[in-house]
Amino acid sequence: MSNKPNAIYIMGGGGTQVISASGYGAVQKAFASYRDKIGTFYIAVGGMRGALNEDWCDMFAWALEEGEEKAESRLNRIKWYSAPVFGTSRHKPDSKDSERLLELLKAHNVKYVFLNGGNDTMEKAMILQEFSERKGFPLTVVGVPKTVDNDLLVTHRCPGYASFAKQVAMNTMSVQADLDSFALPEGAVKDSPIKEGAVAQVLVLMGRDEGWGAAAAVAAKIDESYGPHVILTKEGGFNPDKFIKKCQEAYDKYGRLLVVAAEGAHDGESYIGNYLQVASKELNLEFQLHQDAHKNTSVTDSRLGLFLKLLIESKLNIPTHYKGLKVREEGPGYINRSHIEVVSAVDIQDAINVGSKAVELAIGEGKGKVMPILTDKIGEVSYTELCNVADTVKGSRGMTRSLSSLSIDGKSIISEDGMMIDKDLFMQYIGPFMDLNGPNRIELFREEGMKYPLERINFPLIERKLPAYVK
Amino acid sequence: MSNKPNAIYIMGGGGTQVISASGYGAVQKAFASYRDKIGTFYIAVGGMRGALNEDWCDMFAWALEEGEEKAESRLNRIKWYSAPVFGTSRHKPDSKDSERLLELLKAHNVKYVFLNGGNDTMEKAMILQEFSERKGFPLTVVGVPKTVDNDLLVTHRCPGYASFAKQVAMNTMSVQADLDSFALPEGAVKDSPIKEGAVAQVLVLMGRDEGWGAAAAVAAKIDESYGPHVILTKEGGFNPDKFIKKCQEAYDKYGRLLVVAAEGAHDGESYIGNYLQVASKELNLEFQLHQDAHKNTSVTDSRLGLFLKLLIESKLNIPTHYKGLKVREEGPGYINRSHIEVVSAVDIQDAINVGSKAVELAIGEGKGKVMPILTDKIGEVSYTELCNVADTVKGSRGMTRSLSSLSIDGKSIISEDGMMIDKDLFMQYIGPFMDLNGPNRIELFREEGMKYPLERINFPLIERKLPAYVK
């Protein structure tokens, strides 16, 4: 066994289309540039839970399994996963857990810790670094940013968001084209005896605490006649009457209605999804206000879309040349954040760059308590102090980056009525990084001999050094 | 004005990712090969409704708007739309409508009629041809097949289905990868004090009368541990207890659960979506059993997914090393059938081929009452009598092609318990046409200088010859 210090990489929270590219960036950088400085580079298999259970894999050994000459191409496999290839966890370590983790890190002589995640994870990173200093086994902890939600402060954009935004834009264009095909075309006869059902569409997108995901739908809006005609976010607020009025205006003017809502769409007191009670009489199941297993009222389900559908169908006045209104409703949530095909190649490179930079900062330059950040220039990575991005008060969401915080040239991106996004400003901000007309995954695959479906990689676990965790 | 007979092309029903390619195939073929035989090639703008209102466009004139040398590239724009570029309609013509249509066709000297749609449309095509013969203005009517549902008889596969299946497969792989990242990895510690919420996923897919869409999810199933672990179709039947038993087995064995359901999932008496009542107390709206504007109980909404989510969360026993169960639920419906990016290039060519063949049959060979069909060889198109595909009894669904009708080597594709699809048999049937590792739209675009977002084409309407339709 070498006496060189070791490193560990831990993923946390929900996936993004490019989170595995960050994992790749970190491991590849360590393997290619720092084998003289570190003994091995561990990953926690299964995120923080795996880290605490000592479910670790030795990535140098894994890379070298078929020899040095095949190592780079083995590592390259990691890059392509559309979800956390090392596994992830939502577990929030308490002080007992921090002690356990420190024991494990000591036992394995791990000095460099990379925590890959969002705001919560950045907070954990800072706490762990301070804790290790107090305990006399000082660590070099670096945060690696990821989130589809784009709700990290300081960084220009968060790896994962641009791909999510691209997928949202494409989905919106898709339902729009379908919706358009049922609308009355320009110059068509309206007052004929041929009456059809009018069609409108509700699209619900991920984003509980902010509306970045829903905002991206605006990329599909070619002019005022194109949807989305309404975009609901948590930031924008919600009022049923004002909402219906805006829907009515769009339908009257364009004969089309496409509503996009963030799952966190909110009236100031409650998530709008909570407006809907659901129950099953047949099976005698009552779910007056559905709570998930964590006793949180779940908004990541279809209640919001279904409620908006029912509301619009009940309240919208449809011109007499229609025989009624059908509102279609759908909400691709987990598909959007992990789509294996639709991805931004710029975002993949962003993700690789932050992973790689994290390792450079920690191992190359000995910098801890930092997080690499993306600047507004393609390919450029800088870094910031972790305290600039982490919530300092546990549980506080005060540091979450809200959509309403984005203003360009002094103008807010959210319309005055709170129910629309300014397309020009939005595209100015994220357009080049979404890379809407760039390659998607299968094109990138082809260059490297990969193909669908991708099998999961079962990373072999190391022999454990400590007794099982007992709390 | 020429004395040569004219033609008209009418789209009907819901879109597919490649329906516009069929429209392109037909117009391009007519333009390139038959300008000596036909005066002009009309399209009905807005499907059957547009046809009856005389909302027509002269496609030769449209193609030639910028001169002969630019005509082919103008026509080429049509090919790329992911939804019905000419507009569509669900209107079912009655006998009064048939008379009106015949008057219009006479007034414009239209002898060739192309109806692009599914079973219903093929029935209409047959009725129109017979009606015109009785009225002494015999038409040459050809059906052009389209449907994402694959529920047309006789043809090996229906244009639109392979792309839909590809999109379903990719979505399933996407949620699977995300789900996998939360599952306990191989060899990981189970009985630790670190307890997390278990995660399962429900994915609902289009297909009210059959399960072809949901079946395609099986393409994501690499081995038994991979989802889908349960596939519910209308054909398979549903029983809550047997369903939960199957879910339980998967979770116990693999620590994963991915359920895919066709929107038409059925217990033999009722759609499963009908198990769920929804209501909004806040806004005093009651929707005990939601009916859409057509007084059909709508299943194309999120009730099915939400019901399955609640059922699984209520009934599944989760091992004690989890702290609870969160079932995620989503259902991308209209996005799947019109996805602008994910498409099968083989399917696009299939669609072009049937459009082109339809024109060849009618104008080139003078054959009516037929429909081009795809054989099991890539690129090969044959044709069949319309009566082989159309329902002869109005309203009957007897001729709908059910998933249970597909057997390969004498084996049914549906498992004995009705809740799974045989992957090998299924891929043997559709795999080569899905073209999972082939290019998607942006790659194909690039070759032709197209890009996102695509603007709708506003086809200029001809001067009307008849008075407005009064019924």
**Over B189-220, what HEC string results?**
CCCCCCCEEEEEEEEEECCCCCCHHHHHHHHH
Is B332's CB within 8 Å of A334's CB?
A: no
What residues contact A147, with CB distance under 8 A and at least 6 apart? A13, A14, A16, A117, A118, A119, A158, A160, A161
| Phi, psi torsion values for A216, nearest 5 degrees | -65, -20
Q: What is the pLDDT of residues B15-50, one digit of tens each?
A: 999 999 999 999 999 999 999 999 999 999 999 999
Residue A260: alpha-carbon gap to chain centroid:
18
Instruction: Write down the pLDDT at residue A398.
Output: 47
| A198 → chain B, closest CA residue | B293
Contact B194 A454 (CB under 8 A): no
The token pair that represents B176 in the structure block? 């699977």
Assigned architecture for domain A165-337: 3-Layer(aba) Sandwich (3.40)
Neighbours of B324 (CB within 10 A): 14
**Nearest chain B Cα distance for residue A36, angstroms:** 30
Are B335 and A174 a contacting pair at CB < 8 A?
yes
Sign of the CA dihedral with A188 first, then A190, A192, and A193 last: positive
In A54-184, where does DSSP find H-type helix?
59-63, 68-79, 95-107, 119-134, 161-180
- CA distances to A72, A140, A362 from A357, rounded to whole Å, are 18, 14, 9
Q: What is the pLDDT of residue B292?
A: 47
Q: Is A117 helix (H, G, I), strand (E, B) or coil?
A: strand
Element (H, E) at B372: strand B370-374
The two tokens of residue B220 are 């994501």
Q: What is d(CA A368, CA A386) in angstroms, rounded to the nearest whole number?
A: 9
Give the Cα separation of B440 and A322 in Å (integer). 36
B222/A contact by beta carbon, under 8 A: yes
The single-letter code of the amino acid at A99 is E
Domain with residues B168-336, CATH architecture? 3-Layer(aba) Sandwich (3.40)
Quote the mean pLDDT of chain B: 91
Contact B282 A294 (CB under 8 A): no
Write the DSSP symbol of residue A291: B
Closest C-alpha among B15, B25, B62 to residue B458: B62
B 316-375 residues with CB < 8 A to A: 323-326, 328-335, 337-342
Chain B window 237-256: which residues touch A at a Cβ cutoff of 8 Å?
240
Q: Does domain B6-159+340-399+433-448 have CATH number 3.40.50.450?
A: yes
Q: What percent of chain B is modeled with pLDDT above 90?
A: 73
CB contact (8 A) between residue A177 and residue B293: no
**Mean pLDDT over residues B154-183, rounded?**
96
Q: Do B293 and A328 touch (CB under 8 A)?
A: no
Tokens found for residue A14: 């929900």
CA distance B162 to B346: 8
The pLDDT tens digits along chain A (471 residues) read 568 999 999 999 999 999 999 999 999 999 999 999 999 999 999 999 999 999 999 999 999 999 999 999 999 999 999 999 999 999 999 999 999 999 999 999 999 999 999 988 998 999 999 999 999 999 999 999 999 888 887 889 999 999 999 999 999 999 999 999 999 998 999 989 999 989 999 999 998 888 999 999 999 999 999 999 999 998 888 999 999 999 999 999 999 999 999 998 999 888 888 888 776 666 776 664 445 444 445 556 678 888 899 899 989 999 888 988 999 999 888 999 999 999 999 999 999 999 999 999 999 999 999 999 999 999 999 999 988 776 544 444 445 677 877 878 888 899 999 999 999 999 999 999 999 999 999 999 998 889 999 999 999 999 999 999 998
Q: Which residues contact A295 (CB under 8 A, 6 or more apart)?
A: none
| Ranges of H-type helices in A216-299 | 240-254
Residues of chain B with C-beta less than 8 angstroms from the C-beta of A259 = none
Chain-centroid distance, C-alpha B109 = 33
Domain ranges in chain A are 6-159+340-396+433-448, 165-337
| Residue of B89, B305, B459 with shortest CB distance to A196 | B89
The Cα A46–Cα A12 span in angstroms is: 9
Query: What is the distance, to the nearest Å, from the Cα of residue A28 to the centroid of all Cα atoms in its chain?
Result: 23
pLDDT (mean) for B104-119: 96
Answer for the pair A190, A408: CB distance below 8 angstroms, yes or no.
no
List pLDDT tens digits, range B386-428.
Answer: 887 765 444 444 456 778 778 788 888 999 999 999 999 999 9
| Distance from chain centroid for Cα A454 | 21
Which 3 state secondary structure label does DSSP give B450?
Answer: coil
Give the H or E element holding residue A330.
strand A322-330
Token pair of B419 as six digits: 């809740």
Whole-number Å distance between alpha carbons of B17 and B339: 6
Higher pLDDT, B215 or A283: B215
Query: Which residue in this structure is represented by tokens 């597919």?
Result: B16
- The total of other beta-carbon atoms located within 10 Å of residue A437's CB is 13
A279 contact B CB<8A: yes
Tell me if the bond preceding A159 is cis, omega within 30° of 0.
Answer: no
Number of residues that this document lists for chain B:
471
- Tell me the shortest Cα–Cα distance from B36 to chain A, in angstroms: 30
| Sole residue written with tokens 């179709």 | B233
Residue B436 in contact with partner chain A when CB distance is under 8 A = yes
**Would you say A43 and A88 are in contact if contact means Cβ atoms under 8 Å apart?**
no
User: What pLDDT does residue A2 have?
Assistant: 61
Report yes or no: B180 at the A interface, CB cutoff 8 Å.
yes
Pairing of strands B41-44, B6-11: parallel
Chain A (1-60) residues lying within 8 Å, Cβ to Cβ, of chain B: 11, 14-15, 45-46, 48-50, 52-55
pLDDT exceeds cutoff 70 at B288: no
Interface contact flag, B278 A310, Cβ < 8 Å? yes
Q: How far is A408 from chain B (nearest CA, A)?
A: 23
DSSP 8-state class, residue A373: E
Model pLDDT, residue B286: 61
Are the Cβ atoms of A189 and B55 closer than 8 angstroms?
A: yes
CB-CB neighbors (< 8 A) of A227 in chain B: none
Contact present, B326 and B302 (Cβ < 8 Å) = no
Residues of B in contact with A269 (CB under 8 A): none
pLDDT at residue A287, rounded to an integer? 60
Q: How many CB atoms lie within 10 A of CB B341?
A: 25
Q: How far is CA B171 from CA A84, B228, B234, B333, in A?
A: 16, 12, 21, 11
Which CATH fold topology does A6-159+340-396+433-448 show?
Answer: Rossmann fold (3.40.50)
Give the model's pLDDT for residue B409.
82
Residue among A98, A146, A166, A189 with most chain B CBs within 10 A, to mutate: A189
The Cα A62–Cα B27 span in angstroms is 57
Q: Which of B52-56, B93-97, B230-234, B284-288 has the lowest mean pLDDT?
A: B284-288
Tokens of A231: 């975009």
The answer to whether the CB atoms of B330 and A333 lie below 8 A apart is yes
Secondary structure letter of residue A364 according to DSSP: I
CB atoms B88 and A181 under 8 Å = yes
Q: What is the dihedral of CA A288, A290, A295, A296, to 10 degrees?
A: -120
How far, in Å, CA of A400 to CA of A81, rounded? 27
Q: Which of A311, A341, A447, A462 to mutate to test the interface with B (most CBs of B within 10 A)?
A: A341
Q: Which of residues 108-167 of A touch B (CB under 8 A)?
A: none
User: Which string of DSSP letters, residue by residue, matches B31-76?
Assistant: HHH-TTT-S-EEEETTHHHHHHTT-EEEHHHHHGGG-HHHHHHHHH
A115 strand-pairing partners: A10, A143
Q: What is the DSSP string of B300-346?
A: SSTHHHHHHHHHHHHHPPPPTTEEEEEEEEE---HHHHT-SS---HH
Q: Which helix (H) or strand (E) holds A407?
A: strand A407-408
- Separation CA B266–CA A245 (nearest Å): 38
Q: Is B305 on the interface with A (CB under 8 A)?
A: yes
Distance in angstroms (rounded) separating the CA atoms of residues B28 and B31: 5
DSSP reduced 3-state for B277? strand
| Cβ atoms within 10 Å, residue A254 | 17
> Are B181 and A281 in contact (CB < 8 Å)?
no
Residues facing residue A7 across a β-bridge: A41, A112
A165-337 shares the fold of A6-159+340-396+433-448: yes
d(CA B460, CA A186): 8
User: Are the C-beta atoms of residues A171 and A206 closer than 8 Å to each other?
Assistant: no
Place of tokens 């909110």: A266
- Residue B310 confidence class, pLDDT cut points 50, 70, 90: confident
Q: What is the pLDDT of residue A234?
A: 87
Q: Mark yes or no for CB contact B173/A454 under 8 Å.
A: yes
Q: Are B103 and B61 in contact (CB under 8 A)?
A: no
* Token digits of residue B177: 């990868």
Cβ <8 Å between A334 and B330: yes
Which chain A residues touch B241 with a CB distance below 8 Å? none
Of the partner residues A85, A330, A451, the one whose CB lies closest to the CB of residue B334: A330
Instruction: Report yes or no: B179 at the A interface, CB cutoff 8 Å.
Output: yes
Block residue for tokens 């510690």: B189
- The H helix count followed by the E strand count for chain B is 14, 15
pLDDT (0 to 100) of residue A3: 83
Using CB atoms, pick whichever of B82, B189, B437 lies closest to residue A442.
B437
